[in-house]
Amino acid sequence: MTYRIEVDADLCSGYGNCVVAAPDVFDLDPGTNLAIVKPGRPLLADDAALREAEADCPARAIRLTRR
- Residue 13 interacts with ligand SF4 (CB under 6 A): yes or no: yes
Which residue of 3, 5, 7, 64 would you call a contact of ligand SF4, by CB under 6 A? 7
- Residue 17 interacts with ligand SF4 (CB under 6 A): yes or no: yes
- Residue 25 interacts with ligand SF4 (CB under 6 A): yes or no: no
DSSP structure string for 4-67: EEEE-TTT-----HHHHH-TTTEEE-TTT--EEEPTT--SEE--HHHHHHHHH-TT--EEEEE-
- Residue 62 interacts with ligand SF4 (CB under 6 A): yes or no: yes
Instruction: Point out which residues bind ligand SF4 (CB under 6 A).
Output: 7, 12-18, 35, 57, 59, 61-62
